[in-house]
Each structure stands twice: as C-alpha cells, then as structure tokens.
Amino acid sequence: MSLRPWLILMSYLCFFQINSNSFAKEFHNSENALNATEEWQAPNDVINSYPYYFSGFDEENRPILVCEFGKWDLRRFFDEGRDVNILHKYVDQALDRFVSGPPKELYPEGNAADGTVLIADLDGFNIRQVASAECFRLILGIASKFSKLEKHLAYGFFINLNYLAERTYEVARPLLGSLVERVEVYGTNSAKWIPKLLRALPADQLPPWYGGPKKHFSPVVVYG
C-alpha cells in the first residue's frame, strides 16, 4: 500500500482529535431521538449489511448485545450516494433496543439486573472506512450517539482493535463520555480477551468465536 493514504488518514485523525469538542456538540442528538424509532423499518439491504444481535444473558440476567462493527461497510453508503440519515436512524433504533433489551418473554426466569452488556467487535475495520472525511465524520457521529448509553451500560468490551481502530478510538473517546469508564478495550490477540469475556460472561451465552462452546450457537434475537 502506498504511503499517501496513510498520510491523508493521519491528517484526518489529527484534525478531528484537535476539534473533538466542537464535533461532540455537533453530533450530540437530543435524548428524544432514542425513543422514536422502534416501529421504523430499515431498508432490507441495510438490515442485512449491518447486523447486531443479543447473544444471551449474563449471570444477573442482563442481556448481551453484540455488534460486529468492524464488518459494517459504512463507506459503501457514500460511494453509492445514499442518504446517510438512514444509517443515523438505523443506529438510533439499535440504541433504542440496547436500552429496552430483547422482548421480555425471551428473558430467563427471575429478575434481571439493570443495564445491558455490550460487546463491540472491530475485527475487519480497515483504512477504506476512514480514508473518506465524510465516512470518518459518520463514525464519530455514531460514537457520539453511544454516549447516550451511559446510564444503561452495565459493562462492555471493545475487542479486536487493530492499530487503525485504536487510533480511531482515541479520537472518538471524548465523544463517548463516561461510557469509557465501564468498557474494557483489547487488541486483536484473542488469547488475551477471550479469558476476560469468559470470566465475566457465561460461556454458553457466547458464540464460539468469543469463547463459547464448540457447537451450534443460536442468539436470543438477531437484528439483520
């Protein structure tokens, strides 16, 4: 790969990091935005391209939301000239579901503790997603939306952060607010983060690629 894309990327990272406070104000939507999207139906190609799911529950019956964000090809929306507001609304709906959890009939018997567990997987995150200023702004906008989960996140894990994802996380960190205090961040070495997941979460509530049993795995509910 030529050096030029990386130089462009680093200039973006520096610019957005220096101006993170102004972008935080720009991207911070109102609380009401999280309560108006449950009945909205996203286009089928969006649902299929940007999935997320509840894998199961922790020992306190908190739902575990998994988002394999590194595989979300956000750049495609700009390349195809699509309305980016669709993606914003799709993320708002996902955050609604994070707050409300899966349908109540899917919970295990017994009372559930407050909050939701988050696993954000950045595996596959690459330079194509951030080599466009527009797409990079969208990523920061999504990060800002996640700050709305401060009161609802019990604890979480950001995993599979390569060098590029780590740099992007550092830029987005101010936009995440106090959410970062309840999130553990790990690189691409699964030998380090799988034991952490298994200490915090029941193995049978996780798919095999996160340390779950080596057998057929069925999430509680899949969106996408």
Region 168-182: what's the mean pLDDT?
89
Region 34-58: what's the mean pLDDT?
84
- Residue length, the chain? 224
Q: What is the pLDDT of residue 30?
A: 41
How does DSSP assign 172-197, residue by residue? HGGGGGGGGGGEEE--S-HHHHHHHH
Identify the sign of the CA torsion 202, 71, 186, 146. negative
Q: What is the pLDDT of residue 113?
A: 85
Q: Cα–Cα distance between 210 and 198 in angstroms, integer?
A: 8
For the cut 60, the answer to whether the pLDDT of residue 33 exceeds it is no
Query: Where is average pLDDT lowest: 36-40, 79-83, 108-112?
Result: 36-40
Region 117-145: what's the mean pLDDT?
90
Region 115-143: what's the mean pLDDT?
90
Determine what percent of the chain is predicted with pLDDT higher than 70.
83
Q: How confident is the model at residue 21 (pLDDT cuts 50, 70, 90)?
A: low
Domains of the chain, first to last: 3-212+219-223 (3.40.525.10)
Residue 143 amino acid letter: A
Q: What is the pLDDT of residue 177?
A: 85
Q: What is the pLDDT of residue 58?
A: 96
191 CA to centre of own chain = 21
Return the ∠ at Cα 150 (arms to 120 and 206), rounded to 5°: 30
For the cut 90, the answer to whether the pLDDT of residue 40 exceeds it is no
More confident residue, 197 or 148: 197
Burial of 198 per CB tally in 10 Å (0-12, 13-18, 19+): middle
Q: What is the pLDDT of residue 37?
A: 58
Q: How confident is the model at residue 19 (pLDDT cuts 50, 70, 90)?
A: low
What mean pLDDT, rounded, does the chain reach?
Answer: 85
Burial of 216 per CB tally in 10 Å (0-12, 13-18, 19+): exposed
Q: What is the pLDDT of residue 97?
A: 92
Region 197-212: what's the mean pLDDT?
96
Q: How confident is the model at residue 74 (pLDDT cuts 50, 70, 90)?
A: very high
Beta strand segments in the chain, E: 52-57, 63-67, 116-121, 153-159, 183-185, 221-223
Residue 8 amino acid letter: I
**Rounded alpha-carbon distances, angstroms, from residue 167 to 8, 25, 79, 194, 199:** 14, 21, 24, 22, 27
Determine what percent of the chain is predicted with pLDDT higher than 90.
56
Q: What is the pLDDT of residue 10?
A: 54
Three-state DSSP class for residue 57: strand
How does DSSP assign 59-86, residue by residue? TT--EEEEE-GGG--THHHHHTT--THH
Q: Cα–Cα distance between 220 and 205 in angstroms, integer?
A: 9
Query: What number of other Cβ atoms are within 10 A of residue 209's Cβ?
Result: 12
